Amino acid sequence: MAEPTPPPTDGASPSPTRAWLPFALAALSGTLHFLSFCGFGLWPLAFVCFLPLYFALEHPSVVTKRRAAAVGFTHGFVAYLGGYHWMAKMLEVFSGFNIGIASFLASFFWAYLALLQLVLALCLRRARHHGYPVALAAVAFILCLEQWFPTLFPSHFGYAFFDQTWLLQLADLGGPGVVGALPLLIQAALYPLVRDRLSGQSLTLHAARPLLASIALLLLGLGYGAWRTQEVDARVARAETLHVGIVQAAMGLFEKHLYPQRGHRLHLEGSRSLEASQRAAGHPLDLLVWPESAYLWTLPPNANLERVLRDLTTPLLFGGLRRDMDQDGQMGFFNTAYLIDAQAQLLGTYDKTYLLAFGEYLPLGETFPQLYELSPRTGRLSPGTHTRPLVLPGSSGDTRITTLICYEDVLPGFTRQAVAAGQPHLLVNITNDAWFGKSQEPHIHLAMARFRAAEHHRALVRSTNSGVSAFIDPAGRVVTHGGLFTGEQLHARVPRMDQATLYETVGDWPAWLATVASLGMLLRRRRVRAA
């Protein structure tokens, strides 16, 4: 049954309670939203966090587009202020401003992200006028907007379930959108029941059928997750393994730039210690992984890499800066992953393809070079031109490694394309999260990386400068991890697996389906059957 169209305003001013209640509900919804996000881990809130927003948008005082937009913006600003509060810390560290000025600048970032919820509110308003239930329409609009709305740090509602192994396995079917759709569907079914109950209507079995159906769908998803976990574990038990070591030097963002010799020495000392301990235990390492920008001297073509490896006896994958001609024939600088063998011979390189705006380059900076004068700490790096895997020879055959630098592993679509192109046996993420200090961001980054492992049934080795370094198994579980701003030498056996998943083959089909449904609700009125 279609929900009623909001009555037209009579021009009378609403009472203070009527005027402010929708904004209070929107703020409550935003609070529940960010508390459910992976930075806080209160994942059960993901099943109810949007309910106050739906009530706010259907409040009698929310008639005009302006009011609906303001309600949506309120929800978004509260949600992203809480979920991305660490942006203020990053700006403080990166810019040198005090925390007050940094917070003021960060507020523009939070306000921009809040536009996503503003657009959501306007879309829901139009869908309601076209006869579609608000909460049900929200399922499509949320999945659509999180796929297409441009953001610096993309996130998905499904990330709330990063630590719920059975639900996490659904990501191999269609990425984080499949995981996020389940709690959204439950909220869509729960909302009319709560609304009717609050209005004094009695609950009936007929009215509860959508909720029972959505719960059944959730149970089906949990069943699939339990089966898939066992199936992946069985393949892991049969797979050949590599013994991989990680060295985390735990240097501050600017410390490693001021003292590059010390940074290199710490990586060498940690690697020697790890090599020696594992050799003594009878389990020599097959590969060492250092983080992004572990070696800070710019390496030209045909550089002598013995100065990097020194006396280590294990193949090394490390992050450094490379100087070479870019695709325009100009001298360019690249954020590069190097793979070298135990004799310091170069096996391959990968240049970071997806550069971080405002950190590694400035949008329109090459068109207007004076912009770099306003942000002198921003890099002027060139993007890579391919996502070919690095290849590590071994006694059991070559191991193909897809390397994701910095926040490339936050991007499910980019990772899927790289995996589809390279058919790797192993995923490696090298990053430097020292930008964000002792905030929640490094833990959030780790949570998102777990989705990439589960989406592709590949183990993921995560080597960071300051934490959180970790080994993630092909089911998305953390096998072992280090601390934050602590020196670490970690090691684990990781399986070599290369079987394609449905997500790798088909891609983000939930987002495409949601996009088609969203356009339909925006453009066409719902046909209601006569009673």
Per the prediction, the chain carries an average pLDDT of 90
User: Burial of 419 by CB count in 10 Å (0-12 exposed, 13-18 middle, 19+ buried)?
Assistant: buried
**What pLDDT sits at residue 3?**
47
What pLDDT was estimated at residue 454?
98
- pLDDT (0 to 100) of residue 5: 46
Residue 348's pLDDT is 95
Q: What would the pLDDT profile of 187-199 be if each residue is shown by its tens digit?
A: 999 999 999 889 8
Predicted local distance difference test score (pLDDT) of residue 94: 67
Q: What is the pLDDT of residue 14?
A: 54
Q: What average pLDDT does this structure show over 45-52?
A: 97
Q: Which residues contact residue 425 at a Cβ distance below 8 angstroms, ignoring those fewer than 6 apart?
A: 399, 400, 401, 458, 496, 497, 498
* pLDDT greater at residue 278 or residue 200: 278
What is the pLDDT, as a whole number, of residue 370? Answer: 64
pLDDT at 327 over 80: no
Neighbouring C-beta atoms of residue 413, cutoff 10 Å: 13
pLDDT reading at 2 higher than 50: no
Q: To 5 degrees, how large is the angle CA 138–CA 144–CA 149?
A: 115
Specify whether the CB–CB gap between 248 and 471 falls below 8 A. Answer: no
| 344 Rama class: left (phi>0) / alpha (psi -120 to 50) / beta | left
Residue 52 pLDDT grade (very low, low, confident, very high; cuts 50, 70, 90): very high
Q: CA–CA distance from 20 to each of 122, 125, 418, 529 (Å)?
A: 19, 18, 48, 36
Q: Quick one: DSSP state of residue 163?
A: T
Tokens of 373: 């004068």
* Residue 248 host element (H or E): strand 241-248
Tokens of 406: 């910095």
What SS3 state is found at 351?
strand
Provide the token pair at 229. 């976990």
For residue 250, CA distances in Å to 174, 229, 267 come to: 36, 34, 10
Tokens of 174: 């269609």
User: Confidence band (pLDDT; 50, 70, 90) for 40?
Assistant: confident
**pLDDT the model gives residue 271:** 96
Residue 121 Cα to chain centre, angstroms: 24
- Nearest partner of 466 among 437, 424, 426, 498, judged by Cα: 437
When mean pLDDT is compared across 163-167, 297-301, 317-321, the lowest value belongs to 297-301
| pLDDT in the model for residue 497 | 96
Dist. CA 97–CA 107, nearest whole Å: 14
Mean local confidence (pLDDT), 335-340: 96
Q: Which tops the pLDDT comparison, 327 or 286?
A: 286
> Contact, 293 vs 359, CB < 8 A?
no
In this predicted model, what pLDDT tens digit does every residue of 62-96 receive, in sequence order? 889 999 999 999 999 999 999 998 888 777 776 66
CA distance 442 to 39: 9
Per-residue pLDDT tens digits for 248-292: 998 877 777 788 889 899 999 999 999 999 999 999 999 999 999
Residue 11: pLDDT band by 50, 70, 90 thresholds? very low
Give mean pLDDT, residues 53-67: 93
| Average pLDDT of span 425-435 | 93
- Residue 357 DSSP class: B
- Mean pLDDT value of segment 381-388: 89
Q: How confident is the model at residue 9 (pLDDT cuts 50, 70, 90)?
A: very low
Provide the pairing of β-strand 426-431 with 478-481: unpaired
DSSP-derived letter for residue 133 is -
Angle CA(315)–CA(319)–CA(322) in degrees, nearest 5? 110
The C-alpha atoms of residue 157 and residue 120 are separated, in whole angstroms, by 14
The amino acid sitting at 242 is L
**Cα separation, 113 vs 283, whole angstroms:** 48
Q: Is the peptide bond before 78 cis (omega within 30 degrees of 0)?
A: no
pLDDT at 140 over 60: yes
Side-chain-side CA neighbours of 104 within 13 Å: the count stands at 5
By DSSP bridging, strand 470-472 and strand 478-481 are: antiparallel
Q: What is the pLDDT of residues 341-358, one digit of tens each?
A: 999 999 999 999 988 877
Whether residue 528 is predicted with pLDDT greater than 70 in this model: the reply is no
More confident residue, 247 or 356: 247
Does the pLDDT at position 109 exceed 60?
yes
pTM: 0.91
Whole-number pLDDT of residue 99: 82
Distance between CA atoms of 295 and 288, rounded to whole angstroms?
Answer: 14
Q: What are the pLDDT digits (tens) for 462-492? A: 999 998 999 999 999 999 999 999 999 999 9
Q: What angle do CA 125, 152, 449 make, to 5 degrees?
A: 105
Residues ≥6 apart with Cβ < 8 Å to 59: 18, 21, 22, 25
Largest CA distance in the chain: 83
Three-state DSSP class for residue 39: coil
CA distance 90 to 7: 46
pLDDT of residue 157: 94
Contacts of 422 (CB under 8 A, 6+ apart): 387, 388, 389, 400, 402
pLDDT higher than threshold 80 for residue 4: no
CB atoms within 10 A of CB 298: 13
Quickly count: other Cβ atoms within 10 Å of residue 201's Cβ.
Answer: 12
